[in-house]
Chain A
Amino acid sequence: SYMLTQPPSVSVAPGKTARITCGGNNIGSKSVHWYQQKAGQAPVLVIYYDSDRPSGVPERFSGSNSGNTATLTISRVEAGDEADYYCQVWDSNSNQAVFGGGTKLTVL
């Protein structure tokens, strides 16, 4: 089945840019969605279809997808961005959603 690989952790200083990657075989041919999950809460969709933002998500959140890597970029990182982030695609071969293992974003 299709697999997505994320780095376990990313650290960034406030005001800087965080980039969280999601690797998969030819992931550029799939639509990638990103979720933010803060401690003790349900996940929240922050990016869908590679780079679209749901209403209410700050413009600081952006996404890209090409080749074997999709990237979630968070600009001007704030303390409130500290959370786990998950990428997700739909695997048409198995007809199921697939999630990456998650990346813990730490704001230094």
Chain B
Amino acid sequence: QVQLVQSGAEVKKPGASVKASCKASGYTFTSYGISWVRQAPGQGLEYMGWISAYNGYTNYAQKFQGRVTMTTDTSTSTAYMELRSLRSDDAAVYYCVRRSAAGTSQFEYWGQGTLVTVSS
């Protein structure tokens, strides 16, 4: 079965960077991309972008361009999301997600989330 297991909670100071990981199992990692979605406390879901695990191609939401980098390590079936220059409003749970199948647009598989706290 498809599983996405994310790294643990992080506490960062404003201006710092955070790098969350997402280890995939139960499928051929390079056959699907990984997207990242975040959720601030008490707020809704916000799409951040996508990375192809096949060739590393990325597509970031405009809001995060210049501040986010998504990468993958095919040797360990792990995806990473690094967000730089953290602000207080970046405090959120960050989810890695996978679509049902290539070419589809729904997010069927979700990691458990990584809580990022930004505090001085």
Chain A positions within 8 Å of B, measured between CB atoms, are 1, 31, 33, 35, 42-45, 48-49, 54, 86, 88-90, 94-102
Contact = CB atoms under 8 A, between A and B. Distances in A.
A29 B107 CA distance: 19
Does more than half of chain A's interface fall in helix, strand or loop, or is it mixed? strand
Contacts of A99: 37, 44-47
A42 B107 contact: no
Contacts of A54: 100, 108
Contacts of A49: 106
Contacts of B110: 42-44
A86 B112 contact: no
24 contacts: A1-B62, A31-B105, A33-B107, A35-B45, A42-B95, A42-B111, A43-B45, A43-B95, A43-B110, A44-B110, A45-B100, A45-B107, A48-B104, A54-B108, A86-B44, A96-B61, A97-B37, A97-B47, A97-B105, A97-B107, A99-B37, A99-B47, A101-B44, A102-B45
